[in-house]
Amino acid sequence: MIDDKKVVFSGVQPSGNLTIGNYLGAIRNFSEFSDLYKCFYCVVDMHAITVRQVPAELRRRTYETLALYIACGLDPKKNTLYVQSHVPAHAELGWILNCYTMFGELSRMTQFKDKSAKHADNVNAGLFTYPTLMAADILLYQTDLVPVGVDQKQHLELARDIATRFNGVYGDTFVVPEPYMAKSGAKIASLAEPTKKMSKSDENTNAVVYILDSKDDILRKFKRAVTDSDTRVVFAEGKDGINNLMTIYSCFTGKTFDEIEREFDGKGYGDFKLAVGEACADGLAPVREEFARLMADKAYLEEVMKNGAAEASYYARKTLSKVKRKIGYTSL
Ligand code: AQP
């Protein structure tokens, strides 16, 4: 608890242009917590370098991700918004927790298996220990709740196991965090391969809708989205493409699947895809406008980063000192 409020933590990697998966599965839900919880939202640049990045792009995307947080409704006065590498306690606790995480546990992580297959020429130790750093991110703030998409559920389970293990050895040190998954949108799939998640690092840019795509691009991408040989807009087993489009449409319009099925009863996929594209483009338009305004004011973004890092460091250091004492480090 901080100031009698429960704590929320989450992060997004500045590893590419953010997608509607990142938006619907995570960022859009962050602002729900601003009033009742103490919220820390981090741009996790240390995680991003587990995959090779172009330095200038990483720098630009770090600003962009912060601007997107604000454009998606996160008020920096109500939420602590900061960049992970600006708070060295993340790296320090990450190292300590590496010594309380088992090789076998990390080997079972599906994201490690997926990413090491995708980047076979760069299966680095950071990629392997990514979930331990993520545990450190969360545990540093004594986090109660972590809003994430379904793909991060396994990492969160591991963070809980690490916290429980550490508490078992040294007595109560960390709050054991709970995941928070949105009722809808927690898993948005690729438009080209609807059994796969939509990912910002997908090389097929037509499979991915980016938050900052123009309306024309959004309409074009939905028009080309893979569906099936049936013609009915119904949510059903085996209709992954349509199920995904219905989920996206539902997220942007607030309509239930029943309402969507009735709305498109007797209409073809063409009409439906156009409606999904329109709803998505219209829903994202205010975010795009606010983003452009914020990116033109770098000084403001830097002030947000600075204030956020100072505040996050204050709370992070408290936990870190406690951990160091417990494990037997000396202090000067
Ligand atoms: N397709 C998705 N559907 C729902 N939620 C998603 N998230 C990501 N993709 C989807 C959620 O977005 C948050 C931030 O993700 P991240 O940047 O930390 O990394 P990620 O999960 O690895 O996302 P990407 O887009 O697939 O990035 P790359 O391609 O760089 O690996 C998380 O809460 C995630 O669950």
Ligand 1 geometric centre to CA of 187 (Å):
9
Q: Distance (Å, rounded) from C-alpha 11 to C-alpha 27?
A: 9
Which of 184-193 are b and which e, b meaning 16 or more Cβ less than 10 Å from the residue's Cβ? bbbbbbbbbe
Of the residues 187, 200, 221, 273, only one is catalytic, namely 200
Q: Which residues line ligand 1 (CB under 6 A)?
A: 12-13, 15-16, 19, 21-22, 25-26, 148-149, 151-152, 186-188, 197-201
Q: What is the pLDDT of residue 43?
A: 98
List, for residues 137-151, the tens digit of each pLDDT value: 999 999 999 999 899
Q: What is the pLDDT of residue 201?
A: 87
Q: What is the pLDDT of residue 186?
A: 87
Atom of ligand 1 nearest to the CA of 51: 30
Atom of ligand 1 nearest to the CA of 198: 1
Ligand 1 geometric centre to CA of 103 (Å):
24
Atom of ligand 1 nearest to the CA of 15: 30
Q: Distance (Å, rounded) from C-alpha 82 to C-alpha 314?
A: 13
77 is catalytic: no
115 is catalytic: yes
Q: Distance (Å, rounded) from C-alpha 13 to C-alpha 3?
A: 28
Q: What is the pLDDT of residue 16?
A: 87
Superfamily of domain 205-292 in the CATH hierarchy: Tyrosyl-Transfer RNA Synthetase (1.10.240.10)
Q: What is the pLDDT of residue 315?
A: 98
SS3 content of the chain, % helix, strand, coil (to 5): 60, 10, 35
Max CA separation in the chain (angstroms)? 75
5 is catalytic: no
Ligand 1 geometric centre to CA of 110 (Å):
14
Single-letter code of the amino acid located at 39: C
Ligand 1 geometric centre to CA of 291 (Å):
20
Give the residue, by CA position, lying nearest to ligand 1 atom 35.
Answer: 149
For 105, the token pair is: 């546990």
Q: What angle do CA 135, 138, 141 make, to 5 degrees?
A: 135
Sheet with 178-180: strands ordered across? 79-83, 38-43, 7-12, 145-147, 178-180
Of the residues 115, 187, 239, 273, only one is catalytic, namely 115
Given this structure, which CATH class describes domain 7-181+298-327?
Answer: alpha beta
Residue ranges of domains in the chain: 7-181+298-327, 205-292
pTM of this prediction exceeds 0.75: yes
List, for the chain, all residue ranges whose pLDDT scores fall below the cut of 70.
Answer: none
